[in-house]
Amino acid sequence: MEEELFAVLIPDGSVLKFAKKVQKDISKHYNLYHIDKFPTIHLTIDKVKTDYCQKTLEIMKSVVNNFKAVKIKINEFDCYYTQDNNFLVLKVERTESLKEFAMTFHQALANEGISLIENYQEWDFHITIVSNLFAKNPLSDDKFKELCYLYSGVNLPYISHAKSIELWRFTLNPAKKCIARFGL
């Protein structure tokens, strides 16, 4: 992941407020993250190799000029289990503005052969609330399953917008994470 850059939308309003509250509550309960070092709430829309940073920034700048705020709608929690990590996420609905923006951006990256996402139609839009990636006290599989059980089926009718897109490095360090930010 250190060799990848992430294009992310930053939600605002009720989605951001809700996601931060849940993340903080879970972290406090499980003593998961360092006190003020929570992963930033975001929605990843694409990935590229670090070698393509400049080209990605050019594409970002070009694409954002044609769009306004992107509608972000969350409906429920979900859990992802991988070999290396587990994730509690908020599932993000494919709103028209999200589909249009994300596909336009992805297609521009794909046309240059630099997107790392092979089948974008299957890309699962989500906002990660909890994972062990940056945890000081990672959750055991049993604790994670317990957490997923607690949050499964919770109804979340939150809607807000993303008014910016950022290009990130894989780090929690705020001074090093964000390479660039473009307003929508």
Q: Which CATH number fits the domain that encloses residue 108?
A: 3.90.1140.10
Which residue(s) pair with 134 in the sheet? none
- The mean of the pLDDT values for the chain is 94
Query: pTM higher than 0.75 for the full model?
Result: yes
CA 153 – CA 146 distance, rounded (Å): 13
**pLDDT for 67 beyond 90:** yes
CA distance 20 to 175: 20
Domain count, the chain: 1
CA dist 133 and 23 (Å) reads 14
Q: Please name which of 33, 156, 46 lies closest in space to residue 107, comparing C-alpha atoms.
A: 46
- pLDDT band for 25, please (50, 70, 90 cuts): very high
pLDDT reported for residue 130: 94
Calculate mean pLDDT across residues 84-106: 95
Name, in order, each residue with C-beta under 8 angstroms of 142's C-beta and a sequence gap of 6 or more: none
The domain containing residue 14 runs over which residues? 4-183
